[in-house]
Amino acid sequence: MSASITALPVSLVGLTQLEEVRVALERSIDGKSQYLESLDQRTQAWLHECLQVSSGEQLIADLEEFAQAAPVIELELASTPSDEWRETLVTWLRTHISPTVLVRLHVRRNLLAGFRLRTGKHEYDLSLASRLRATAKVAGVADGN
Amino acid sequence: MEVVLYAILVGLVMCIGLMVAVIMLLQKLSRVHKKAKPTVGLSREQQAKLREEATQQYEAMMVRELQRFEKSMQKFSDELLAKMQTHIGNPDVELEKTMSGLMATTTDGYSTALEQSVGALKARLSSVDALLTSHAQGADGQIQALVEDRKARALARADAELASIFSDYMAQVATGLDYGDQQAYILQQLEAIKPQLVEDIRRVG
């Protein structure tokens, strides 16, 4: 893990946003600073903090290294989360699981409610759909009985 | 049975013939009496003589007619008996032989056909048993595969339709659902699996 990246802002959720930051940083070095301005303000603030301790080239290299090594959690929700709800989830995961975890969010409406989470080692299906299937299986509906 | 009927018929014919003969004799006797009418007014001796002649003629005629009738009936009886022997006596034997032969042939043929049918039926049943056995051996796997396929299809269909079904259900029944409650539920479940998540991320990292 890079020394310049010890914590991620909640606005940087996953690899996609991390890649956007890296591209914006590369172009800003080339004199196109308008790309940095297109980023979220909290992301810009975090970049400024990082650039206080590291050069732009070093930060880019650190971001590439970080993107390859950071733990990733895939989280599936039944509906598109609001910005507030997404930040609540990301904050909880980085507070309780890992401060550098990247979150890949998906919307799966057939989950109905709850969530399904994959860590790369295991899958945790705590959706309403899985509960209904389990109930149906116990009742013999899914088996066609 | 036919012999009895023929005997009754012979008796009936003989009775009729006897009655016809008696009627014919009475008619002739009547003619004799008519011939005697012109003798009215004859003397007692002449009348006794005529009556004596008439009586003799009547008796002679009776004898002749009875003899003729007897011959005729004898002839008829002989012919009838001959016909009975021809048409009833002998044919019975032939018929019995014919019927016996026919019965034997029919019985033998029936037995042979029955045996052939039973043999064919047994062979057919054996082939059906073999077919059922071979089908039964492959049926378990096929049925199992079919059941699994149907289960998979049912689950896939349930997955595809569950969202809309649940949405409709929620729209109709749970209109007051607070999504804040769902967020609380998700955070609660994340908290419940937190130790496993921490361990998973540590191993991946």
Residue B158, domain member (yes or no)? no
Selected residue with higher pLDDT from B98 and B62: B62
Looking at residue B98, its pLDDT comes to: 46
| Residue of chain B nearest A86, judged by CA positions | B183
Looking at residue B120, its pLDDT comes to: 67
Among B160, B163, B185, whose Cβ lies nearest the Cβ of A114? B185
Among A115, A122, A144, whose Cβ lies nearest the Cβ of B196? A122
Count of other CB atoms within 10 angstroms of residue A89: 23
Lowest mean pLDDT among A1-15, A17-31, A49-63, B188-202: A1-15
Check residue B41 and give left, alpha or beta (phi > 0: left; psi -120 to 50: alpha): left
Q: Cβ B203–A96 below 8 Å, yes or no? A: no
Residues B11 and B108 both lie in one domain: yes
Q: Would the CA dihedral through A35, A38, A41, A46 be positive or negative?
A: negative
The residue range of the domain holding B71 is 2-126
Looking at residue B95, its pLDDT comes to: 45
| Residue of chain B nearest A110, judged by CA positions | B163
Asked if pLDDT for residue B91 goes beyond 60, the answer is no
Among B155, B163, B183, whose Cβ lies nearest the Cβ of A112? B163
Asked if pLDDT for residue B87 goes beyond 60, the answer is no
Bridging pattern class, strands A102-107 and A72-77: parallel
Asked if pLDDT for residue B179 goes beyond 80, the answer is no
Looking at residue B107, its pLDDT comes to: 47
Residue B89, domain member (yes or no)? yes
Residues B23 and B84 both lie in one domain: yes
Q: Where are the domains of chain A?
A: 15-69, 72-139
Mean pLDDT of chain B: 68
Selected residue with higher pLDDT from A117 and B58: A117
Q: Cβ A133–B187 below 8 Å, yes or no? A: no
**A117 chain-B contacts, CB cut-off 8 A:** 190, 193, 197
**A136 chain-B contacts, CB cut-off 8 A:** 158
What average pLDDT does this structure show over B162-183? 58
| Residue of chain A nearest B144, judged by CA positions | A143
Per-residue pLDDT band at B166 (split at 50, 70, 90): low
Asked if pLDDT for residue B118 goes beyond 70, the answer is no
Residues B98 and B17 both lie in one domain: yes
What average pLDDT does this structure show over B16-23? 70
Q: What is the pLDDT of residues A56-111, one digit of tens each?
A: 888 899 888 888 888 999 999 988 899 999 999 999 999 999 988 999 999 988 88
Predicted model pTM = 0.49
Count of other CB atoms within 10 angstroms of residue B37: 7
In chain B, where does DSSP find H-type helix? 2-36, 44-84, 90-172, 179-192, 194-204
Residues B188 and B87 both lie in one domain: no
Q: Cβ A112–B166 below 8 Å, yes or no? A: yes
Mean pLDDT of chain A: 85
What is the number of domains present in chain B?
2
Selected residue with higher pLDDT from A59 and B105: A59
| Residue of chain A nearest B163, judged by CA positions | A110
Among B182, B200, B201, whose Cβ lies nearest the Cβ of A113? B182
What CA–CA distance (Å, rounded) separates A114 from B187? 10
Asked if pLDDT for residue B159 goes beyond 50, the answer is yes
Q: What is the pLDDT of residues B29-79, one digit of tens each?
A: 666 555 555 545 567 777 777 777 777 777 777 777 777 777 777 777 677
Q: Cβ A119–B204 below 8 Å, yes or no? A: yes
Q: Cβ B205–A97 below 8 Å, yes or no? A: no
* Closest CA of chain A from B168, distance in Å: 11
What average pLDDT does this structure show over B165-194? 70
Residue B92, domain member (yes or no)? yes
Q: Which of A44-53, A83-92, B103-112 has the highest mean pLDDT?
A: A83-92
**A121 chain-B contacts, CB cut-off 8 A:** 200, 203-204
Residues B114 and B192 both lie in one domain: no
Give the domain-ending residue among B126, B150, B167.
B126
Looking at residue A122, its pLDDT comes to: 93
- Residues of B in CB contact (< 8 Å) with A are 147, 150-151, 154-155, 158-160, 162-163, 166, 179, 182-183, 185-187, 189-191, 193-194, 196-198, 200-201, 203-205
Q: Cβ A98–B158 below 8 Å, yes or no? A: no
Residue B62, domain member (yes or no)? yes
Evaluate whether A128 touches A113 at the Cβ level (below 8 Å): yes
What CA–CA distance (Å, rounded) separates A29 from B158? 53
Asked if pLDDT for residue A127 goes beyond 90, the answer is no
Q: What's the ipTM?
A: 0.85
Lowest mean pLDDT among A23-32, B24-33, B94-103: B94-103
